[in-house]
A = this chain, B = another copy of it.
Amino acid sequence: MVLFSKSFIPTIREQPKLAECRSHALCLKASLLSMISSGVYSYLPLGLRVLRKVENIIRKHMDREGAIELLMSVLQPLEIWKKTGRDESLKEIMVRFRDRRNRELCLGPTHEEEITEIVKKYVSSYKQLPIILYQIQHKFRDEIRPRYGLIRSCEFIMKDAYSFDVDEQGLNISYTKMLEAYKGIFEECGLDFVVVEAEVGFMGGSESHEFMVPAEIGEDILFYCSKCGKYFKEKKMCPICKNELEEKRMIEVGHIFKLGTKYSSAQQAYFLDPQGRRQFFIMGCYGIGVSRLIPAIIEQNSDEKGIIWPERVSGFDVEIIILDVENPLLFKEGISLGEALNKENLEVLVDERKESPGVKFNDAYLIGTPFLIILGKEYLSTKMIEVEERKGGRKFRFSKQEAVNFLKKKYEDELL
């Protein structure tokens, strides 16, 4: 349970001058982020809570598919990039420097080369395969035009996973696992998203899917058939109903690739098959823009008052507003209700500040906790609690126990 007066949630009332779009403005106003420099942000406590929620949803779905988490270095020697030639093809966006010992280092914009070196070192036999490794980590891009806050920033957080298989059939299985995990992740994040076949680009490989979130500020374009409800990569007529297609802007939140042996052959990474023959690892790679998910979720889940967090990604599950904190009985009831909810593993924010109801409601709607409990004087006479759902604004009147049960049920993990 967090008391608002003991927290650091410094919301901003005015529209931030630098805000480039709705989600950017809301990230700044709701004090999720503080801008340090163009394209560089710090996560304030509320933003960090949301980030952790998103990360843990990803972990849950990755682990469920048997993927194993590690944490690779940010610094990478440039020599491993020379093996695949990507020291040249990614040159522009790569932050690189020479250290005092004259080593050429870079800040990893991605980790195919490094994971291939690691697996080459430790995996020598088909018996150790298949394996899927992943990490959640800070990445860096020398963006010439950072924008929209965390949508396109110089420093960001990625989930990158890598699969190693003995053959194409194995890769297909790993790839399908990741595809399913991704659907689960984006669903649990409360996103409306589409999956489309995509080109392999600078990653190389044979097959690729993108996970796209429709949003006005999207930088990718798809074409939509309003009749069939389907998305396409190219602007032709709808291949199903021959209807004309509309242009739709999309935010890319995930991208998965069948890489084959592109990296393993360039880096001489092989295992011994049952016949003792050397075979290059058959690889796949699977990325999610973790930090980018936050603005993507906000773009789809907000109104004029603020953010409307989907239940699983909100920094808090429930906010209790104590309207009259000078009333010691009401104050005590508010804290006790918070503790009761906390006991059920709900994360509770209690607004017990000496502020006007207007300020408290404004902040509550702005930071967008899915459920709001309002405790006013009438609670003391009626013992009935008002629960307001942020999304849609539905209001419920409950006894204390009913309120606890209602909210407990909303966050039961079995639901997902």
B-chain residues with CB within 8 Å of residue A73 when the two chains form the complex:
36-37, 40-42, 155
A44 to B117, CA, bound (A): 13
Please give the count of copies of this chain that the complex contains: 2
A10 to B131, CA, bound (A): 12
**Selected interface stretch from A91-99, A367-375, A385-393:** A91-99
Verify if A357 is at the interface (C-beta below 8 Å from B). no
**Selected interface stretch from A62-70, A202-210, A232-240, A245-253:** A62-70
A75 to B144, CA, bound (A): 15
Chain B min CB distance to A113 (Å): 10
B-chain residues with CB within 8 Å of residue A379 when the two chains form the complex:
none
Given contacts A77-B37, A118-B34, A138-B138, contact A8 B131 (CB under 8 A): yes
B-chain residues with CB within 8 Å of residue A361 when the two chains form the complex:
none
Chain B min CB distance to A292 (Å): 16
B-chain residues with CB within 8 Å of residue A301 when the two chains form the complex:
none
How many of A's residues come within 8 Å of B, CB to CB? 55
Given contacts A99-B154, A142-B100, contact A75 B37 (CB under 8 A): yes
> A140 and B75: CB pair below 8 A?
yes
Verify if A45 is at the interface (C-beta below 8 Å from B). yes
Map CB proximity to B onto A38-71 as digits: 1 under 8 Å, 0 otherwise: 1011111101100100000000000000101111
B-chain residues with CB within 8 Å of residue A71 when the two chains form the complex:
42-43, 47-48, 51
> A144 and B40: CB pair below 8 A?
no
Given contacts A70-B48, A72-B42, A74-B155, contact A144 B95 (CB under 8 A): no
B-chain residues with CB within 8 Å of residue A34 when the two chains form the complex:
118, 121-122
Verify if A76 is at the interface (C-beta below 8 Å from B). yes
> B155 and A42: CB pair below 8 A?
no
> A122 and B10: CB pair below 8 A?
yes
Verify if A410 is at the interface (C-beta below 8 Å from B). no
Chain B min CB distance to A177 (Å): 13
> Could you tell me which residues of chain A, from 1 to 50, have a CB within 8 Å of some CB in chain B?
6-8, 10, 31, 34, 36-38, 40-45, 47-48
> Could you tell me which residues of chain A, from 90 to 117, have a CB within 8 Å of some CB in chain B?
92, 95-97, 99-101, 103, 105, 107, 114, 117
Verify if A215 is at the interface (C-beta below 8 Å from B). no
> A44 and B66: CB pair below 8 A?
no
Further contacts, 9 of them, CB under 8 A, given A36-B117, A47-B70, A99-B154: A10-B128, A36-B73, A36-B77, A40-B75, A41-B73, A74-B138, A75-B155, A92-B100, A100-B144
> Could you tell me which A residues sit within 8 Å of B by CB distance?
6-8, 10, 31, 34, 36-38, 40-45, 47-48, 51, 66, 68-77, 92, 95-97, 99-101, 103, 105, 107, 114, 117-118, 121-123, 128, 131, 133, 138, 140, 142-144, 154-155
